[in-house]
Structures are given as structure tokens and as C-alpha cells.
């Protein structure tokens, strides 16, 4: 599984899950499954297109892997928007841009928290905003 720390203007994009019921209402970094024959980076770009209606470019991998369930681990990459405005098209019902220090305003899925913390640390270093 891949997740995207989509950053723009010193902010991180958070997506609120609408499905499945066990995850609905919680927030995550958008992303999804890697299909056969895809690199994780291409999978992330495809998932962002499908879920948010944007073209994005995968960047650096955020160190770490987080177990989602047996046989599935989450890996996260930074991503920058190339074109389009993110909209909640699939699996999400709300999007929110967060500045460093604002990440506690949403209820993140547990497995996303370490990657969110690292993404915000990186953003704070580029914007001068303290997390």
C-alpha cells in the first residue's frame, strides 16, 4: 500500500475516509494498493488521480513501513501537484489542507501518524513554521 504526503504552499493534504465503515470519519494520507507491474511511485500517482482527480508527481520516500494488516504494509512518499485541484472523488468525503502544527486538528488513522509527523517536520523546515 502507498500513501501520499501531498504538499503545496507549505501545507499537507489530509483526506477523511468515507468507507469502509470501520474507517469512516478518520483522516489519512490519500493512496491505495500497488497493482501488478506498477512501481510504488506510479501506483501513488494513479491513486491520486483516481481518488482526488489530480495529476501529481511522487517525490521522496518517507522512511518507514507501517503494518496495516497481515500481508499489507504502508509506505509513504511525498508528492507535489502537477495539475488539477484535489476533490474527494473516491473513498473520501472531505479534504483539508493543514499547516505544520495543525495536524492534531484531525483524527488520523494510527498507521498514518508517523508519516504525517515526518511530513510536517519537513514542511516546518521549509516554511519556518514550528510544528
Find how far residue 57's CA is from the centre of its chain.
13
* Per-residue pLDDT reduced to its tens digit, 44-57: 999 999 999 999 99
CATH class as words, domain 2-127: alpha beta
d(CA 66, CA 94): 24
Give residue 101's Cα distance to chain centre. 17
Q: For 61-88, write each residue's pLDDT tens digit.
A: 999 999 988 999 999 999 999 999 999 9
- Other beta carbons within 10 Å of 60: 11
Amino acid at each position: 500500500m502507498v500513501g501520499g504526503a501531498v504538499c503545496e504552499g507549505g501545507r499537507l493534504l489530509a483526506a477523511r475516509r468515507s468507507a469502509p465503515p470501520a474507517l469512516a470519519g478518520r483522516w489519512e494520507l490519500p493512496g491505495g494498493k500497488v497493482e501488478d507491474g506498477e512501481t510504488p511511485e506510479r501506483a501513488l500517482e494513479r491513486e491520486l488521480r483516481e481518488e482526488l482527480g489530480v495529476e501529481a508527481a511522487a517525490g521522496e520516500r518517507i522512511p518507514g513501513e507501517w503494518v496495516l494488516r497481515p500481508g499489507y504494509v504502508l509506505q509513504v512518499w511525498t508528492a507535489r501537484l502537477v495539475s488539477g485541484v484535489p476533490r474527494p472523488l473516491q473513498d473520501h468525503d472531505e479534504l483539508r489542507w493543514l499547516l505544520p502544527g495543525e495536524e492534531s486538528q484531525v483524527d488520523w488513522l494510527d498507521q498514518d501518524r508517523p508519516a504525517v509527523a515526518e511530513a510536517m517536520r519537513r514542511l516546518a523546515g521549509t516554511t519556518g513554521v514550528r510544528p
